[in-house]
Structure formats: C-alpha cells, structure tokens
Structure 1
Amino acid sequence: MKDTYIVPSALIGISIILVQSSVAVALSPSQVEQIGREITVRIVNSQNSSDSGSGVIIRRSGNIYTLLTAYHVVKNTTSGSKYEIITPDKQTYAITSVKRLPDVDLAVVEFSSNQTYKIAKIGDSDKVTASTTIYVCGFPGKTAAISNPETAFFKKGQVNANGAPQRDGYNIIYDSQTIRGMSGGAVLNEQGELVAIHGRADEQSIGEQSQTQIITGLGTTIYSALRQMTKLGVDVGVKASPISTSKTPKADDFYIAGYEKYTQSNFSGAIADYTQAIRLNPNYAEAYYQRGRVRKNGLNETANAAKDLRKAGELFFAQGKSAEGYRSQGFERWILKDYPGAINAYNQAIKINPKDAQNYNSRGNARALSGDNRGAIDDFNRAIKLDANFADAYLNRGASRSELGDNRGAIADFTLALKINPQDVLIYYNLGIAYYNLGQRKAAIENLNQAIKINPQYPNAYYNRGIARSESGDKKGAVEDFTQAIKLNPSYAAAYNNRGNNRSDLGDNRGAIEDFTQAIKLNPNSALYYYNRGAARYQLQDKQGAIADFTQAIRINPQNGDFYYKRGIVKILAADRKGGIADFRQAAQLFQKQGRTAEYQQVMQVIRQWR
C-alpha cells in the first residue's frame, strides 16, 4: 500500500483545542461510540463512489471546518479527482482544500458549512500504551456485502505498541478488526478523546488456504502529527509534550520496527526486533505472539513458534486477558496440527466473546483441517452473520465447499471475497483451483495469472498454472511454470515431477529423468516418481533401468495394477515372457478387485495373446 506522495509547498495553519480532564474517567463503550459517530465523516470520490474513506473533524473557524484523514484517502486529488464530505447528518459538502503533512500518511482537509458539528477532543497520545483500550470509528467501503455504507463501523481493540514512526509515519499498532474504507477514521481512547488517525489494516494469512488471519491496525498518533507540524513552523494552536531526550529505544519501538520488517519479508530482522522488545519487557505477551507468528510464517520454525505462542498464552492469562490467551493457545495447537486442541481453545474464546467473528473463522479453519468441512461451514456462516464484510470467512467457506465437491458454490464465495478484497492473492489462487476442478482450464489460468501478478513470489500459483497449461496442450509454458516454482522453492518435489512429465512429452526424456531423480531425492517414498522415471527410461530403451524403477514403485505401493502392467510390458520386451505374464496376471487381479473393468478386460486380452 505504499504510495508516492507529493509534498505540498505550503501547509494549512490550523488551530486545535486541546481538552484534557484532570482526572481521566472512562466512558462506556456506547458513550465513546456516540462521540465517534458525531466527529467522524465519510469522504467519497464524487466520480467513483468505491473510492472512499473517513475523516475526523478537529476544528471550526466561522463556517470553515477542518478535519484530519489519511492522505491516501484523498491522494487522487493530485490527478484531478473531486471528493465530497458526508457529515453525520447525511449532508454533502465539497472539499475546498487538501494539504498533506509531510513524512506521514495524514492530510488536512477543509470544507465549508453553516451547520454545527461536533469537534474532536485531542487526547494525550503519549500516554497510550500496550494496556490501552481503543476504539476505531470509520465508514466501510462500498463492497458486494455493503452496497450502501452510510453507517459508521465502531471497532473495539487494544494497543499493541506505541513507538517510533516507521514507513508512512505509522507509529501505533492495535488489534482492531478494521476494514477498507475506515482509513482516516478516529482512534479514540476510553475517555472518547482522539489519540490517533487510523491509517490502514493489514490482513496476513497463516497457512496455505488462509486458515486464519491476523488483522492489525496501523495509525499515526495525534502528538506525532503535531510534532511534525511544529518542526515546519506550522501554527497548530497546541503543543505536544516534548519528546524524551533519551536516545534509548523502548520495547514498543522494537515491536513496531519488527512489524515493519515482517511486512517487508525481512523475517530474521523482525525476529531480532521482537527479541529486543522481549528483552526490554519480558512480560510483552504480544511480542511473543508476533515472534511466534514470524517464526512459523516466515521461517517455518514450528517448534520455536509453538514455544513463543505458549509463552504468549501464559502471559495473557496471567494478565487477565483470557480471550487473548485462548487465541494464542488455539494458534499454538493449530501449527502443531493438534486440531481438536485448537478447536477446544477457540471454543473457550467464543464463550468469552461470542460476537467475535474471528474466533468463529479460526475454529472453522481448525474444523476444516480436521476433516469436518460441514462444521467448518457452520462456523464461517456465523462469522459472516456477525461481519458481512469478512472477506476471509467467505474465502474459507469457499475452500470448505470446494473440499465437499461444491466448486460452483466455492466460486460464488470466492467472488464475494474478491469484491471485498480485490488484491488478495489467495482468493485468485483458490478461484483458479475451483475453475480447474470444474474443467474450465482457461478461467483457471486467468485467475492464477492474477495471483501471480499480485504476488510473483508464490510458487504454488506457478505450479498449478503449469498443470492447467499442460492439460491445455501448452507443454512449453508448463515447463516454464514448473521451473519458476522450483526456483522459488528448490524443495518442490511435485514441481520436479511435473516438469519431468512435460519434458518427456516434449521428447526430452534425459531431462525428464534428471527431474524425476531430483524428485525421488526429495521424496524417496513416492511410488509415482519411480514409476515416471521408469517410463522415461523405457522410452530411452533402458529396459533394465525401467524394470528396476517399476519394481521399486511396486515395493512402495503393491496395490497399483498399473505398475505391474507396465513392468510386464517391459519384461516381455526384455525377453522375460514368464515374468511379464506373471505381472499381467497380478495387474488383472488388482483391476478386477478394484472394479476397473475396462483395464481388467484389456489386460486379459494381452494375457491371451502371450499365453
């Protein structure tokens, strides 16, 4: 989501009224929600209603209102797009001015109105810590699930870290499950004070089929924004407290730096930063949780990841955060493939918070992996009922439907997920697989093309596109795809095997044998790889080598009649008539037992010819 920003030559001078109580009194969630809805506006591109976001009213001077938003919400003004403000009373106003604050994803926006609207109270964002409860208020974007997004969403969460700014000036991380369109919305503390502007939400998959998601909110604290303006000599009417003169980074700084490195696939660097955060704060449960996530997702260090998640769970429980504790426990059980254990943990999380859609999504994924796809679909249905804009629940429901053979239903779910999240590589990937399962090779290739366009480092997308290309007759294109899959994952045994098959089809049996040999080195227990190498050796008239490979395939899988049949043919050609007929008889017996009538009749005809 990195944008190229144009720094304006001048900035708007604004005056913000700082209101702080001498005693901080927490309001009820409903009271904070009311405040959020009164100060949050919707920002819409007048030429494209799908291009929308949110903003927060921070000042009124006469009939001029000033609001803050994320710059990426209104950045298209530089290319001529016109935006409008929709206020809480559903009135529409033209934007009269847009100026970006340099070095941060923030913009100051003005509009004119004679109506009276509430102004945000600015809170002390320096006091926001990992123990702070926050609320994010913003308007969802228009999607297939939300066709008329006129009501602001209000999402409760908890701060994970508040530290030094990273890319785009983001310096606060929280676990609120925000969605597209809420960018630029208000981040409020329990006193209903504005402490940050919501920037974006990152959704990161755990596992090949999006088995669960981590949703992380990123924002810019108000004081961070004020300090940027102060450095430029811009009069904002209020001063943030001075930055500590200490140059020693704190745990939160390392946590935020670790998150940034993780998003850039610098997994070792991310682990190093999370380790430093833990060193400075041994009770930093979220740092343990995130380090475990990186170890599993980035480096596939299952044992170390499970250890970190176990520690995170222990700390969450000790800190009275039972829901987070069960979340960690469920993730730990999940990566250890203890799916019943994961289900039990998510059961407990659901008891604590039965309205958390993510818990149902996570339990559904554990059920799917344990083979209970119908139970998984029930959970995904519940998640969608709680959050109609939950793209991953549609994605996962589609995956379970596909597992049950309902590929058309799966495509319907994947299509809905794609409308909500059009840049999700897994959605295109799964659409490609579903179309392939329906025999629609062209549609499969088109969707896998999109998956590769979004993530050109995704080996499975190349692998499956290679299969679809091969079956469409494009053997050379298939070889190219399998080669790319191997380049990205040198241990991809199936890619070597399939490249070998296509090389053989193209007449390159020596190259095919090299590929089958490498596949066997990677997976010496695959009967299929020996069988395929035997077939390629047979094409090169290496009858003894072929017989040796077919024999090894039979040792691994003695119930495959094709192996006996193929070995029988080669034995006959090698002048071993008796051995060949014995193999044919064994193949016929297996075919008959397995109900393969056509193959049985074919082999019996061959036996009569050679008897």
Structure 2
Amino acid sequence: MKINLSLFKISSSIISLLVMVDIFTFTLVSNAVENKKVTADCRTIPDVADNSTVKISPVDDEPSSGVIISKKGNIYTVLTVAHGVKSQDILDYNPLKIQSRYDEYNVIAGQLLDEGVKSLDLAIIRFESSKNYIPIIFGSSQQTQKWDKVTILGYPITSTNRTGQPQIYPLETTLIEINANRGKGYDMSYAGNGWEGMSGGAIINDCGRLLGIHGRGDSLGTIKNEESNEEMSLRGPFAAGIPIDYFVNLLPLPNLKISEIAINIKPNFNSLVSEDVQKSFIDLGLSELESNNLGSAISYFTQAIQKDSKNHLAYSYRGLSYSLIGDKQQAIKDYSRAIELNSNLSNARYNRGLILSRDLKQYDEALRDFEELIKRNPRDADALFERGNIYFQKGNKQQALNDYTTAIRLNKQLGDAFYNRGIIYHQKKKNEQALEDLRRARDIFASQENLKKFGRANDAIMDIQGGVKK
C-alpha cells in the first residue's frame, strides 16, 4: 500500500473513512485498523502476545507456536519452526490450523526452510483473516550480548485459561551464548525453563523486538498445570533458539520480500546528534511510512522526537502512523502536540478532526477543528465536506447541504459530496435534483474505478427511480 506523502491526509487510498449517506440512514464506512495498544517506542509483552503470537496445530502431531511477521492485505505470514509442521501439513493446507487468542484459521500456504545449504529449522506459513493483527517488529540478534534479559512467548501444550482458550506464557530468561553452533541454526543459547508447545515462539527483548525463534530445550520431567491439573513437560536448564538475523539473511523468499517486514535496529547514539542526523530520522520514518512499515516508522519518528522534543513534523507523522495501526488515542495526542508546536499544520488538524468525528464521535471537538481549517482556508473542500458530515450527524441537514454545495463548487470531482447531497435532496422529496447528483457521483466513481461506490450510487438511483414509478 502506497501512501501519498505529498498530502499526509487520511484519504480513501489509505483508510476508507468516507461517510456516505444511505437512502434511509447516514452510514459510516470504515476499514480502519482496530485499536491496538502500542507504546511510543516499544511494544509491551502483552501486546506482542495478544496481537502477534499464534498457536499452530498439525492434524496428527503436537502443537507448536509462531509469530506473525508480515501482513499483505488480509494475508498474514507466520514464522515458526519447521519441526513443528510437516511438509504434508503444508501441502494439504487445511489439516494445519492456526489459532490466535481469539480465532482459528486454516493455513493457505507455506514453505519449509530446513533444507539446502542454509538449512534452518524454520518454516513460514500463511493464513487469511479480516481481523487486524500487528506483525512483530524485527530487532537484531547481533546487537545482543551475554546476560541480556529476553522473553520467550508461546503456547504450552496443555495451557488454557478459564474460558478454555489457549493461554500464552511469557518466560523471562537470560542469554548465555550467541554462537552455540548446535546445527539447524540453533546458535542462541539461554537459561531458564521452556514448555512443550512453545517451540516456534518469539524471543523478544524488553522493547518487544524479535531477536530469535525458540525451538529446543532439554526435558527434565513433568509438572502439573495449576489451572487444569494436567502434566506438562518441563525443559531446561538451557534452551536454544535461532537468531532472527539468520532468517533475514535468507530474504527475499517466494512471496516475501524484505520490504514486507518491519525491521528496527536501534542504533548507538553519541551524546550529541546533529540536525542532519535528526532530519535523517524523519526521512527514514517517511520511507518506512510510505512502505507501510508502520512500526519502524513510529520508531524513527520517536527517535527524532527524543532528540528534539519540539519537532512538530515528527509528532504529526507519528500521529499518522499511530492512526494507521489503529491507536487513535495516541494519534490524537501526537496531532495535538504537533498543533500546539505549530498551529499552521493543517493536515494534523484535519486528521485529528477526522478521528474525532469518525472514530470517537466527538462531533463538537471535531467541528472546531474543521471550522478552524475553513477559517484559515475557505477553499478547503475536504474540510467543508467533513463539516457537512458532522452537521448531518447533528441533525442540521440544511447546513450539511450548504457545505456539500460549497465543497462541490470548489472540487467538482468530489464524488462523495455529490452522493451525500443527492441523498439529502431525496429525503427532501427533490428527486430530480437527487438523481442528477447521484448520476454525477456514479460517473465520478466509475472514472476512479471504485466499484463499491459505483454500485452504491447506482443502487440509490434505481431505488429512487423505482419509487417514482410507483
């Protein structure tokens, strides 16, 4: 997904947030990402556990764990251990199930990486879902050292919560060795216990960055699960994982490019950072934002803010990034800080108003944003259109009609304004004017190759024509 960096407004090419007036109701159309908790610079362990970690269940073998590393449309890619899945499972697809904390999916494709010269005990598998999970951000195992604290995330075989859903366990441990040379890529050794079923789980640092994939441990016997009273195998005193750098070095793979994963390796900074370096954080963030690597973009913009707490552009761009991952509250905070630092940031004000009106339903606050935009630029057709939507929601259809008319005069390609005005005309029993606007909207949507909006406009025309004939 490409983002128009020249505007930095949340438009239909980024998130479908256009308000459309239905024949009988005013309906909000939104494909926005669900709200996910992501902190300013790091992801919390519960966040990575809930939104990036999955359970993998072969048809005739013990389950294992995996971590979501990429999203492309509704297709998610999961990285796991090869010994947790079988080639037959991947070839047959359906027998292999992927289970998040909330839902279960069939595997639709996959690839084993445990053969060839660079043989690693890894596999990638894919599933399709309309839900919004957050791919993990890659760190670098090369930037770890002995005695670093890390956490393993995975699903022990017999662990469930009180509702019967699989229970994710976070296991904190300490790195012992990075180049253990155990074969199949298991060169990361660490202390602590691991349970069966957690193979394939993510090894993360305290910032939620992916450092490796957990996969091996020594069995010491069994213990009982406190909730289910069932026995589970205990592993230790040492376990092993595959450094994530090994996987990155294999890229690109079929249907997985390196640009499709979020990589953030936090550099070592000198005590003084030049303005050019600060600017480079913005440039790097914009590059990640344009490539839809939102986690990395947020990290770069955060680094720019850490070096210059009054960098209004960094706050504005980070607000956009947060909005795109669904963290609307954090987006509002960043937009507000950007506007506080520079009141002329029209795009930050526009985006804040959009979230306030569309997502949070705080119409009075949103109205102030759009009125300020119109005051500063009376020819802002987008702001006029959005103010018209708010007036409609507040029951002032005549004012909404006036704003739509002004927006159309300023931008005759604003199909949504034609559509919404046409619906209001229909509700006012002015069907001739309604049909004229709806036909114009249909033509615009056709030229934009927007089949969904084209169909909606065409249906409205047919409904009105059918009612007139009756």
User: TM-score normalised to the size of structure 1?
Assistant: 0.31
Q: Flag the structure with more relative contact order, 1 or 2, with Cα contacts below 8 A and sequence separation at least 6.
A: 2
User: TM-score normalised to the size of structure 2?
Assistant: 0.40
Between structures 1 and 2, the one with greater strand share: 2
